[in-house]
Amino acid sequence: MAVSPLKFLTVIALMVTLGLSACSGPVPTGKADRIIIEKSDHRMGLYQGDRLLVTYTVALGKGGPEAKTREGDGRTPEGRYMITEHKEDSAFHRALRLSYPNAEDKERAAKLGLPAGGDIMIHGMRNGLGFLGFMNTWVDWTDGCIAVTNGEIDEIWSMVDNGTVVDIMH
């Protein structure tokens, strides 16, 4: 009996996902008051004061490692932002909206005569594709957002409040 390639890949993805979730460590506890994203290392850390609570490997914007300069460049911005919304009705599994663009971002884009853009978020996988979470960081694939797996965004969601500071650096 022949098995379709799509069914085969789906079963493999499910097995890998279940295997990886069985190997994950304990769920972090406590509220974070700051998030630091280091783009060059594809690393996001949640902090309570100076204490690192947890780190995640992230996917970034597909437009390259440079800082976002304008709407549509596909880059992840750099600077200080805040979480402004816990957004459940997103095209992705949960999303934390950031306060991008800040004053510096607006000024930079204005000098170019272009809009700065918006809708930069920390989010999970596209709805319906959560089973591909194990491949999340193989390539930078977002339009400028910061992406984690669905399980990770569920953890982060409960650990941060609106107003949490988010520092994104190269």
At 101-156, the pLDDT tens digits run 999 999 999 999 999 999 999 999 999 999 999 999 999 999 999 999 999 999 99
pLDDT at position 29, please? 74
8 Å CB contact between 122 and 155: no
For the chain, the first-to-last Cα distance in angstroms comes to 52
**5-169: CATH topology:** L,D-transpeptidase catalytic domain-like (2.40.440)
Q: What is the pLDDT of residue 2?
A: 59
Strands 51-57 and 79-87: unpaired
Q: Give CA–CA dist 78/52, Å, rounded.
A: 21
Question: What tokens appear for 170 in the block?
Answer: 């190269």
Q: Considering only CA atoms, give the Rg of the chain.
A: 17
Task: Copy the structure tokens of residue 91.
Answer: 């095209």
Q: pTM of the prediction?
A: 0.83
pLDDT of residue 26: 57
Q: Taking the CA of residue 142 as centre, how many other CA atoms within 13 Å lie in the half-sphere pointing to its CB?
A: 29
Instruction: Please provide the DSSP assignment of 73-103 as one string.
Output: S-PPP-EEEEEEEEE-SSSBSSEEEE--S-H
Instruction: Say if residue 21's pLDDT is above 50.
Output: no
Q: What is the pLDDT of residue 10?
A: 55
Are the C-beta atoms of 164 and 35 separated by less than 8 Å? Answer: yes
Of 98, 76, 28, residue with least CA distance to 56: 28
Domain boundaries, the chain: 5-169
Contact between residue 69 and residue 146 where contact means Cβ atoms under 8 Å apart: no
What pLDDT is stored for residue 19 in this prediction? 46
At 25 the pLDDT is 55
CB 159 within 8 A of CB 53: yes
**Strand, helix or coil at 81?**
strand
Average pLDDT, whole number, for the chain?
89
Q: What is the mean pLDDT of residues 64-76?
A: 95
Q: Which two tokens stand for residue 71?
A: 């709407």
The pLDDT of residue 133: 95
- What does the pLDDT read at residue 7? 56
Phi, psi of 2 (to 5 degrees): -85, 140
Does the pLDDT value for residue 24 go beyond 60? Answer: no
Give the single-character DSSP code of 2: -
